[in-house]
Every structure is written in C-alpha cells, then in structure tokens.
Amino acid sequence: MNLREFTEAVDARTSEMTWEESRMVFHSLARKVPKENRKEFLEIMDQVKNTCVAEGGGKSAAKMAASQDKSEVKREYARLKKQFDQIQEGEVFFHAQGYEDDSSSYWDRDWVYEFEDPYKIGKTYEAAARLVERCVNDGFYKTALNTFELMTDTEAGVSDGGDGFEIDFDEMIRERLISIDTDALKKSVLYGVYQNTSPKERPEVLYSYVILPFFRGVKLEEILSMGKTELPGSSRFVEEWIGFLTDKPGDVAGQFLRDAVLYQKSGDEMMEAARKGAKCHPSLLAAVLEYFEEKQDTSRQLALGQEALGLVEEKYKVRGQIALSTAQAALKTGNVELAEECWQKAFESDTNPLNYLRVAAESRDGRAYRQKALKIIDSLQPRKEASYSLERIKELETNSLSEYEKAELLFFMGDFDRAMKKCETVREGLGWSGHFIKCGLPLFLLLFLDTDTLGKGGYYAAGMAASNMGFQAREYEKGTLGALETERKNSKAAENTDSTDLFWQCFRKWKETLTPEEITGEQVGTYVTVLERLIDLRVRAIVSGQHRNHYRSVAALAAALGEVKESRGETGAKRKILLGYREVFPRHSSFHEELRAYGMPDIRKGVGKKPR
C-alpha cells in the first residue's frame, strides 16, 4: 500500500484504541527505532504536543495530522528548491570521462561517458520523486507538480575536462544517474495533473504533459485507474479528451485517441469515432477493425473496412493494414473476390515484396495483377534510406520504395535482366550489406532450382531470401485463408509457423505464374554462369579473409548452386563444387566443417575406417 493508504489505515485503528493501547503501541515502536533516529522520533512527539497546545485542542487529530503533513511537505519542498537552484547555477555538477567505444563495430563507433556524482545530485532527484509521490498520496497536487517541474526544468552541468556540457532529466535516467521508479512517477504526476486542473482545461493541460518524452508509453487507463475510488468526472473527461484529440495531429495524440475510444466506446460509437478521426488519425480505423476482429464482430469489421478504404487516402501505408483487415472479414463471409481486391489495395498503399507475393500466391489468377503492379512500382519515387527515419508522424507515413525493394519487386515482376544487373553492380566479394545481391542471389538460386524439394543449401537460400526481404509468416498470413485456419486451431499456431517454409510455398506458387518465354533454357544457362562467378567471388573473399562468422553462409550458397545444377541434370555437381573449395582452401578446417555440414563427403584420413 502507498503512504496515504498506510496513514489512513493507522488513523482508523488509532481512533478505535484506548489511551492505554495507544501508549503500548508507542512503547513498542520506540523499541524498534534505530539509534540514529531516536532524537528525531522524540522531536516529532514534542512537535505534535506543542501543536495541540498552541491550537488549544480545537482541532481533531485528523486535522492536526494534515496540518503536520502540510508543514513537512512545505519544508521538504523548500529544501529541494535550494538544492535544485544549486544544480541550475552550476554550484554542483557531475564529473565525466569520455571515450570512443568500438566494441560493436569498427565502422560504427560511439562516444560514451563514464559519470561520477560527487555532489550526490542523483539523491536530490530521488528525494524529489519521493516527494511527488507523497504529495499526490496526501492530496497536495500543486506541490507535486511544482516538484516535478523542478526535476524537468533543471539541467545539470557536467565537467569533462574540457568546455563541459549539460544533461537534462531524461538523459540522467538513460545514463542511470538516478534510481527511481519512472512508471510510478509518470502515473503519480498525471494523476496529480488530473486532480489539480479544472474540467474545462483538463484535456489541454494533460496533453501538454503526455507529449513530453518522459511520459512515452503511459496508458490512459493506467491514469484513470489510480486511487481507491473513481476519479471525479472521468466519463465526461474521456468524452472531452476524445473530442480534443480527434483533430490533434501527431503520433502521441493518435495513440491516446485509440486508447480512449477502445476504453470508452461501444461498437457503433467506435465506428463513428473512427470516421470522425479518419483524416487526422487513420490508425484509429485500423485499431477499431482489429478490435472487431478480436471480438469476432465480422459484420461491423467488413462494413467499416469497406468504408475506411474510401476514407483514407491511397498514399498512406496504414491503408494497407485496413485493406488486410477487410480482406479477413471478406473471407469469413466467403467473398473471395473482395478479399483479392483488398490484397491489391494493400499493395497499392504499402508497396513491398511481401504484399505482392500475397497477391500472386493467394489470388485465383496470380498473374493477372502484374501489369498494374508494375505501373505502381514505376510511379513511386525512390526512398533514400538515410531520410526514412525523418518521417515525423508514423501513422501518416506515405508509400515509397527503396532501391533495394524496387530491385526485389522487379525480380517478382519477371524482369530478370534488370534484377540480375543489380546483382552484378557488386564487384567485390565483401561489402554486400545493403545491396540487392544479398537477397537477389538466393532468389535466383531458388528460381533456377528445378524441383519442389529443398536441400540443405536451398533451404538456407530460402531463409536468406525471406530474411533479407522482410518476409514473416505472421505478416504474410494477415488477411488470408491461412490466418483463418490458424484462428480455428489456436493463437500459438501463427507464432510456430516457419517463415522459410511458408516463403518457399509462396515462391513456388509465384513460379507457376511464369511463362516459358520469360525464362528460357538458354537464359538459365547464362544466369547460372553469372551466379557461379558471384558465389565464387564471395567464397574466396570470405574464406581468404578468415571471416569465420560467414563461413556457413558461403558454404550454403555453394551447396545451393550444386543443388540447382543437379536438379537440371548435372550429376554430382554439389559434391564437385564443395570438394573443389576444399582443395582451394586445404588448411581452413573450420570452413571444411561447414562444407561437410552442407553435404561435402568426409574424406579425412581414418574417418569411417574400422580399427584393426
């Protein structure tokens, strides 16, 4: 229990005790007071006695206790105010020593600091956090907020042997210079804001707090559920809160709006709130659709989904989520045609390889949409990866393509010449990260594999392709019959679905949409020669450079190449390729171990022979 609950429980018990019983309690407590606190214990007793005498016994014990609490809080706030003034004026400060940390990567060094706190600044912030909690528990909300403002408005100086710098409250928490329960502090402050603000001003004032980085992750329900009794006017507040947030742009406003609507509204009310917020907060439509799906309210899910696809502009990625949720509802009602339209709309608003594979593999005619998809791909402006993180409002993120994703989609459009040229832009066997070849090479190996069964090398290639193109079973199955089947079984089935296996199934279905003219035998021969050269380039660079962490990947690629050749009639190709690399690198035993793991015969002396 918190301090307020504890003191109220003590007051309730003492009110029912006789004078003799109270005396016995004090005697028992006195025996447990540590030696260093005994003087303070006696001073508290004297203070209470003097207060009673000064006021002539005209106040009740509860009022006198409240008066004492107020006096203590006032003194503690004054003490902390002086300490925070010293911090702000630079009279006390942290010490720090900085250095470069290259433990993660030579090319990705970080400048880090080791801090010292000789003036116990962290203790001041910890004491302030305790005062905030006490003030909220005892009803001194204004003082609680003033104390929190001291914490957030004060920046502490840092002496690092140079010009020095300053760090704020959030940075102190990240650097672990303060030991406080941040979750409890967030709830206490916001509860204090609610109680200290008039109903008319409450939404705007509360929003001015939750927009701060410190309050990231807090939920409306957590604030409203604090305290022993329901907050005054909470139902009215939530209604006004929803109205305030509906036209307030930003991800924070969107998150709190979603929380409030799902917390307060019923089915039809949710739909109406989602419609009103569609322009500024389309994520609310997606959240309400997800709610209906969880509640198996298919009729509302389908009706709102179809309406939402017209309310949200095609350029927003969130429309892709809405389309898949609508497809799920359509399949539940047996409307396969609508589901296929929704898969296409998901691709139109969130253009990526996974969304295209869903169209190609799940539709009744997996090839029919290709020309329209190609026009969409060509119409999108390329996205520079470095600027991608600058998107300010995630729920209004617009559809775009990176060069990497475009190359992947060109492959699935059947434009193999352009896709292969993207692979061939790499001239060295190292430095493949961030280039299409990391995904393109395994994709081409799978394309030319003339069998439905994956060997060890082929399975690794499928896993590599799925990983590099961000293919996840759980994401792919959204809005498909597979998701319905998972729902019928159990919720854990989706978590256990192997992404590599599912990717290979989808890839095979996509291959069935190709025509003989798109990939002739002559083209296969030419492409396989290119793949052989690129894989050889990679193997030699990795092994000669002794990059042991990558031995397995290059052994798998070599094995996959052999499996492709064998599937096309070249007997013993895999054995020949793997043994060939063993001869090229005769002294690299760790590499030999990986080659054996992918099917190379073990020709070490004495292995497999019976002892005499």
* pLDDT at 426 > cutoff 70: yes
Tokens encoding 527: 């492409």
Q: How far is CA 224 from CA 187, 234, 259, 299, in A?
A: 9, 7, 12, 32
Query: Mean pLDDT in the chain?
Result: 88
CA 325 to CA 329: how far, in whole Å? 7
How many Cα atoms occupy the beta-carbon half-sphere of 229 within 13 Å? 3
3-state secondary structure of 545: coil
3-state secondary structure of 199: coil
3-state secondary structure of 440: helix
Closest CA to 496 of 477, 521, 520: 477
Element (H, E) at 530: helix 521-544
CA 378 to CA 360: how far, in whole Å? 18
Q: Which residues are CB-neighbours of 608 under 8 A, at least 6 positions away? A: 602
Q: How far is CA 389 from CA 76, 383, 385, 420, 475, in A?
A: 44, 11, 8, 29, 22
Closest CA to 369 of 359, 358, 354, 361: 359
CA 505 to CA 290: how far, in whole Å? 27
pLDDT at 388: 42
Please answer whether residues 469 and 408 qualify as being in contact, where contact means their C-beta atoms are separated by less than 8 angstroms.
yes
* pLDDT at 52 > cutoff 50: yes
Residues 38, 41, 42, 44, Cα dihedral to 10°: 160
Q: What is the pLDDT of residues 431-447, one digit of tens each?
A: 898 889 999 999 999 99
Please answer whether residues 357 and 405 qualify as being in contact, where contact means their C-beta atoms are separated by less than 8 angstroms.
no
CA 283 to CA 266: how far, in whole Å? 18
* pLDDT at 389 > cutoff 60: no
CA 276 to CA 342: how far, in whole Å? 23
Q: What is the pLDDT of residues 290-334, one digit of tens each?
A: 999 999 999 999 999 999 999 999 999 999 999 999 999 999 999
Q: What is the pLDDT of residues 250-287, one digit of tens each?
A: 999 999 999 999 988 999 999 999 999 999 999 999 99
* pLDDT at 387 > cutoff 50: no
Mean per-residue pLDDT, 234-249:
93
Please answer whether residues 555 and 460 qualify as being in contact, where contact means their C-beta atoms are separated by less than 8 angstroms.
no
pLDDT band at 452 (very low <50, low <70, confident <90, very high): very high
CA 76 to CA 153: how far, in whole Å? 18
Mean per-residue pLDDT, 349-376:
95
DSSP structural state of residue 316: B
pLDDT band at 413 (very low <50, low <70, confident <90, very high): very high
* pLDDT at 391 > cutoff 70: no
Q: What is the pLDDT of residues 173-220, one digit of tens each?
A: 999 999 999 999 998 999 999 999 999 999 999 999 999 999 988 888
Q: What is the pLDDT of residues 486-496, one digit of tens each?
A: 655 555 544 55
Q: Which residues are CB-neighbours of 45 under 8 A, at least 6 positions away? A: none
Closest CA to 557 of 542, 539, 570: 539
Mean per-residue pLDDT, 497-516:
92
Q: How far is CA 285 from CA 323, 351, 434, 494, in A?
A: 11, 20, 34, 24
DSSP structural state of residue 602: -
pLDDT at 386: 46
Mean per-residue pLDDT, 518-544:
93
E strands present in 179-289: none
CA 612 to CA 558: how far, in whole Å? 37
Please answer whether residues 98 and 112 qualify as being in contact, where contact means their C-beta atoms are separated by less than 8 angstroms.
yes
Adjacent-strand bridge partners of 115: 96
Closest CA to 83 of 117, 123, 118: 123
pTM above 0.75, yes or no: yes
CA 549 to CA 590: how far, in whole Å? 10
Tokens encoding 50: 């003097």
Closest CA to 477 of 312, 560, 354, 305: 354
